[in-house]
Amino acid sequence: MAGGALWRRLGSVLRWTAMAVGSLLLLGVAANAWVLGSTRDRIYDDAARLPVYDFAVVLGTSPYTHTGNPNALFSNRMKAAARLYHDGHVRHLLVSGANPSRAYNEPRKMYQSLRRRGVPDSTITLDYAGFRTLDSIVRARQIFGLRAFVIVSQRYHEYRALFLAQHEGIEAVGYTWPAEDRRQPLRTEAREYFARIKAVLDLYVLHTRPRFLGPARPIDLGPSSAGGYIARAAR
């Protein structure tokens, strides 16, 4: 009898565990479907079809891989950002990334790469507190006063960035380097899958805010910019 009760209790625990795991898996799938479904039609790899705004926000990543080789993700973001500027699709670039130490400074590396690609110093602003995608997007709105912009990153990343921008009331589209392979390593895809779930939790459950905000530093391009909320014909 005691043995039967034990097995019944164990069966109940297993059923509840299975239900909990199933619910978590379902929530993960639903969160990813929400992020992807609400943003996929706002990502471009053809600059000719891209709406033209005053600003682009270039999201940071390391210029090197963990093995010390050049990071194609970094170089493709820099090529995409430089193209947007030189083709007249944006007037100003906000480069946003992490700056935890003197030895690791994403905004500075992005600035240097863009300067080598012919982007003028006066058209680049550096945000040193873009520790996460959420930080970069929220700070672009609250610190730098941008209400509309092009997000420059990889397609797999831009779904989440656009989802965050949408929540902040920002008019945003994404642009990714056209020659880039859309397929990513399984590790990258898995990490981004969970990052999208975290983004939904950050916005709607945890109400996460950036690590640093600080005083506003609006980027002023003159009366025509209006925080970037303007679509112009390409020059």
What are the two backbone dihedrals, phi and then psi, of residue 201, each rounded to the nearest 5 degrees?
-65, -45
Block mean pLDDT (10 aa), the chain, length 235 = 68 72 80 96 93 96 93 96 96 96 92 98 97 98 97 97 98 91 80 96 96 93 62 42
Domains in the chain, CATH or no CATH each: 38-228 (3.40.50.620)
What's the length of the chain?
A: 235
Q: What is the pLDDT of residue 230?
A: 52
66-104 in b/e burial notation, b at 16+ Cβ within 10 A? eeeeebebbebbbbbbbbbbeeebbbbbbbbbbbeeeee
Q: Which amino acid makes up residue 179?
A: A
Strand segments (E) across the chain: 43-44, 55-59, 92-96, 124-127, 148-152, 171-175
| Cβ neighbours of residue 109 closer than 8 Å, sequence gap 6 or more | 63, 74
Q: Which two tokens stand for residue 164?
A: 């965050």
Q: What is the pLDDT of residue 234?
A: 40
Q: What is the pLDDT of residue 232?
A: 46
Q: What is the pLDDT of residue 131?
A: 96
pTM for the complete prediction? Answer: 0.87
Q: Which amino acid makes up residue 159?
A: Y
